[in-house]
Structure 1
């Protein structure tokens, strides 16, 4: 990570805007995820997933196809999830919604069977501490979970996730060659944790020969030795991408970005700070990267992921965000 500060706290309920506790560290050397990145909202009543989990090589993937595929031509869409991962019913329903719009959707297990600690469904019942002891217990539980998330993030770095993505994309080009060809490449959407990887897949980045470090950021210094001259550029690996409330993003992650990008952002989101978003917009504008950025007020981080909310404004924003992302990939 770079020196961009990343906050560690997400909203506790539907209507609350994102907030950061005063005593929560915000160092880039101590990044973590918010509650809405590691927990699902209740699944919408009457909805269930319709795709299937299979393996592409040694990677588990959830695949959802249009009802009339392969008789009707489709395009290939890679969907990258937040911390709740492959087995989240909400994430699966999200994939199904894109499939119903004509995409063969492949949702890989980014975490190799290790979703975020304490992944669960957020209760609709508000928690009101009844005593100082209750408050202490809640704070202790939050601290423990934060520690577990830190340890989990240390296990799921760019060096671990990117090879998984390349394996899956290689398999897609074989298994669904018709859909990749029909779309002229692979489209991709990402939520929370997965959002950052849309930026990385959409960039031209510097890589080392023979797997010496995978890969260096375009902003990272190359090693000073006789092999430095052999560094090559690779990517982008996707045709176009859409990102919803990404987390763990630094300003450097925009460097080398080449493909059209749509961004769904949350107003005053500590998990995707305004300074990072604005720097990203400036980079894309200066480098003629086609993009759109929509900032949604009055919604919590994670709102664009399938899940039930009591607040109608959040429900409406969730539907609008899906339409924004879908429209973008359809137009590109």
Structure 2
């Protein structure tokens, strides 16, 4: 694998302050959040936001709003059919069971279950909204599905602290890809990061892997912004994504 499976660190973090300005919608039967740019600054491209296991919540809504503030219509799709995890679960939570069966035992969050949800979101942006240029951001859990859905129309990608991305999935992303990595990350540690570099270099397409010091897995979504180094890393990772899309998607 190019990154390890999710773990307890995937639900640790801090809720950020702010008032979301987008709207909660449905894409078919799936919960979603749509952030729309001001018409005067709107770009002819959209971003699909594939979230971590906390899905559509305060922090991800604020981030989608910021992508919209930079001109990109942005859609967050809930990959979990309403079964997202809450922030800061108690130690000992059975993460593997939740992934394989869901909280109710009959709602798995495997690739077989998630792939059709991502495909529906892509169709919404490209068919219903009519966008010809489509980028995607994937945070932790969501990174795998950025890689998997190049074939369905994702043209430029960004991942932050990716989890359980298979090597063949990473190699199969035949488009520009940027990755934000944490210095301390048991899911995307140095050996996985270096292996990812090798895979992307072999692909011969534009790629970027930025390493942020003094932060841990999840920093780009759930860090403690009262800490200067964490806030800096979060903001720079966001700018990394926007700059990547501005250069390769437009």
Which of 158, 168, 177 lines up with 2:111 in the alignment? 158
Query: Per-residue displacement from partner, 1:46-66 (whole Å, max 9, x unpaired)?
Result: x11111111121122100001
Q: Which residue of 1 aligns with 2:20?
A: 49
Distance 1:284 1:329, change over 3 A: same
Q: Is the 8 A contact 1:51 1:92 kept in 2?
A: yes
- Deviation of 1:121 after TM superposition, in Å, equals 5.7
Q: Is the 8 A contact 2:119 2:152 kept in 1?
A: no
In structure 2, distance between residues paired with 1:89 and 1:5: 26
Structure 1 segment 194-213 matched on structure 2, within 5 A: 194-202=142-150
- Structure 1 length-normalised TM: 0.68
Distance 1:153 1:168, change over 3 A: same
Distance 1:236 1:273, change over 3 A: farther
Query: Does residue 1:298 correspond to 2:214, yes or no?
Result: yes
Unpaired runs of at least 5, structure 1: 7-30, 123-140, 203-234
Query: Does residue 1:142 correspond to 2:109, yes or no?
Result: no
Q: Which residue of 1 aligns with 2:34?
A: 63
Q: Is the 8 A contact 1:249 1:272 kept in 2?
A: no
- Deviation of 1:322 after TM superposition, in Å, equals 0.8
Structure 1 segment 20-169 matched on structure 2, within 5 A: 31-35=5-9, 37-44=10-17, 47-68=18-39, 72-86=42-56, 88-116=57-85, 119-120=86-87, 142-143=91-92, 145=93, 147=94, 149-154=95-100, 155-169=108-122
- Deviation of 1:274 after TM superposition, in Å, equals 2.0
Q: Which residue of 1 aligns with 2:246?
A: 330
SS at match of 1:78: strand
Q: Is the 8 A contact 1:62 1:106 kept in 2?
A: yes
- Deviation of 1:248 after TM superposition, in Å, equals 1.8
Query: Does residue 1:310 correspond to 2:232, yes or no?
Result: no
In structure 2, distance between residues paired with 1:43 and 1:56: 26
- Structure 2 length-normalised TM: 0.89
In structure 2, distance between residues paired with 1:73 and 1:265: 27
- Deviation of 1:41 after TM superposition, in Å, equals 1.0
* RMSD, matched Cα: 2.1
- Deviation of 1:34 after TM superposition, in Å, equals 2.9
In structure 2, distance between residues paired with 1:150 and 1:95: 28
